[in-house]
Chain A
Amino acid sequence: MNNLLTSQPLTEPSRTAGGFWSKQPHLKRSLLFLLILALLLSVLSQLSIQLGRSQNPLFNASARDLLDQPKNSIDVLVIGTSDVYSAVSPMEWWNQYGYAGFAWGEAAQRIYETHEYLKKIYRVQSPKVVFLEVGDLYRDKTDAQNLDSMAKAYIADVFPIVTYHRNLAPERFLNLMAKPHALTKGYLLRLGTVRTSGSPDDYMKTDDSFASFNPLSGRELKQCIELCRSHGSSVVLLSIPSYSDWNMQKHNSVAELAEGEQVPYLDLNLALQQQINWNTDSADGGKHLNFRGAEKVSNYLGNYLRERYVLPDHQSDAAYSAWQSDGQDYEKEMNSLRQSA
Chain B
Amino acid sequence: MPYNSWLYLIFFLGVTVLVYYAVPLKIRWTVLLAASAAFYLLASRQLILVLILGAAVIYAGALRIEKRNDDYQERRTALPKDERKLLKEQTARKVRHILILVCTVALGILFFTKYFNFVGTNVNLLLTKLSLPAAVPSLHLIMPMGISFYTLSAVSYLIDVSRGTCRAQRNFLKLLLFLIFFPVITEGPISRYDQLGTQVAEGHRFDYVSFCYGIQRILWGLFQKVVIADRLDAFVGNIFDDRIFYSGTVVLAAVLLYTLQIYTDFAGCIDIARGSAELFGIRLTPNFAQPFFATSDNDFWKRWHITLGAWLRDYVFYPISLSKFFQALSKSSRRHLSGYYAATLPALVALLAVWFLNGVWHGAEWKYICYGLYYYVIMASGMLLEPLFARLTGLLRLDRKSRGFRLWQMLRTFCFVNVGMLIFRADTLGAALSMFRSLFQPYGGSLLAVMNAKGLPVGQLSIALIGAALVFAVDILQERGAGLRDWIAARAIPLRWSIYMAAVLLVLVAGAYGPGFGIVDFIYAQF
Contact = CB atoms under 8 A, between A and B. Distances in A.
A33 B6 CA distance: 20
A107 B8 CA distance: 23
A37 B501 contact: yes
A36 interface: yes
A2 B11 contact: no
Contacts of A40: 501, 505
Interface of A: prevailing SS: helix
Given A4-B209, A5-B208, A148 B6 contact: yes
Nearest to B510: A165
A4 B459 contact: no
Contacts of B516: 107, 166
A41 B7 CA distance: 19
Contacts of B6: 148, 151-152, 155, 162
Contacts of B509: 44, 161, 165, 168
Contact of A144 (B43, B212, B501): B43
B48 to A, nearest CB: 14
Contacts of B207: 9-11
Contacts of B339: none
Contacts of B497: 33, 36
Q: Chain A, interface size: which category?
A: 35 or more
Nearest to A3: B209
A3 B501 contact: no
Contact of B212 (A4, A143, A152, A168): A4
B486 A151 contact: no
Contacts of B490: 2
B206 interface: yes
Of A108, A162, A166, chain B has the most CB atoms within 10 Å of the CB of A166
A264 B471 CA distance: 54
Contacts of A147: 1, 7, 11, 42
Interface in B200-221: 205-209, 212-213
B504 interface: yes
Q: Chain B, interface size: which category?
A: 20 to 34
Contacts of B212: 4-5
B209 A144 contact: no
Of B8, B43, B209, chain A has the most CB atoms within 10 Å of the CB of B209
A151 B493 CA distance: 31
B43 A108 contact: no
Contacts of A108: 514-515
B123 to A, nearest CB: 34
Interface in B469-517: 486, 489-490, 493, 496-497, 500-501, 504-505, 508-509, 511, 514-516
Contact of A151 (B10, B42, B496, B504): B10
Nearest to B504: A37
A82 B10 CA distance: 27
A5 B11 contact: no
A144 B42 CA distance: 6
Contacts of B2: 148
A40 B501 CA distance: 9
Given A144-B42, A151-B10, A9 B208 contact: yes
B271 to A, nearest CB: 18
Nearest to B211: A10
28 contacts: A2-B486, A4-B212, A4-B489, A4-B496, A9-B209, A10-B208, A11-B205, A11-B208, A26-B208, A36-B501, A41-B505, A107-B514, A107-B516, A108-B514, A144-B5, A144-B7, A147-B1, A147-B42, A148-B1, A148-B5, A148-B6, A148-B7, A151-B7, A152-B6, A161-B509, A162-B508, A168-B509, A169-B459
Interface of A: 1-5, 9-11, 26, 29, 33, 36-37, 40-41, 44, 82, 106-108, 143-144, 147-148, 150-152, 155, 161-163, 165-166, 168-169
Given A5-B208, A11-B208, 17 more contacts: A5-B493, A9-B207, A11-B206, A33-B500, A36-B501, A40-B505, A144-B7, A144-B42, A147-B7, A148-B1, A148-B5, A148-B8, A151-B5, A151-B11, A162-B508, A166-B514, A169-B459
